[in-house]
Amino acid sequence: MIKNSLLLVFTSFLTLSSNVSAQTQCTLDNNATPSQTKRYTQCLDTQINQAKYNQGTWVQKRKYELTKLEEQSGNTQVLILFNRSINNHQKYIEASCQWRYILKLPNASQAAIDYKLCELALIEQFTRVLKQPL
């Protein structure tokens, strides 16, 4: 009973957090001023933080499920591999977005924007993968 209640609360939270991140839209005109560009990058930071938070809840949900499966089956490899995939994905995001950043230099503003857009896209992509049923 407690397990089902916890899962229901968790599912409700995930729905809410998905709706919150969808509400934040960042826009930037082609002829943006430096202050508009700054607000845009701050907006992207907010979106990234929301996406990371949402992803973190899915990671915790999957860890919980995999821990339960580990207890039932005795297979201790799955959770270890899952944790490795989380760590490797973070390294992939950094490397993948860094080369995009470097391509835009010396325009530091555009480089930062491209990095943030890349990071946001990869976080959201991995979260969609985490949402797939086991």
Domains detected in the chain: 34-131 (1.20.1270.180)
DSSP result, the chain: -HHHHHHHHHHHHHHHHHHHHHH------TT--HHHHHHHHHHHHHHHHHHHHHHHHHHHHHHHHHHHHHHHH---HHHHHHHHHHHHHHHHHHHHHHHHHHHHTT-HHHHHHHHHHHHHHHHHHHHHHHHS--
Q: Which residue has the higher pLDDT, 2 or 113?
A: 113
pLDDT at residue 61 greater than cutoff 50? yes
Q: What integer pLDDT is reported at residue 48 of this predicted model? A: 97
**pTM to 2 decimal places:** 0.76
Q: What integer pLDDT is reported at residue 1 of this predicted model? A: 45
* Percentage of residues in the chain having pLDDT higher than 70: 82
Alpha-carbon span 75 to 96, nearest angstrom: 33
pLDDT at residue 3 greater than cutoff 70? no
Q: Which residue has the higher pLDDT, 117 or 28?
A: 117
Q: What average pLDDT score do residues 23-41 get?
A: 83
Q: What is the pLDDT of residues 78-124, one digit of tens each?
A: 999 999 999 999 999 999 999 999 999 999 999 999 999 999 999 99
CA nearest to 59, candidates 21, 117, 121, 10: 10
Binning pLDDT at 50, 70 and 90, where does residue 24 land? low
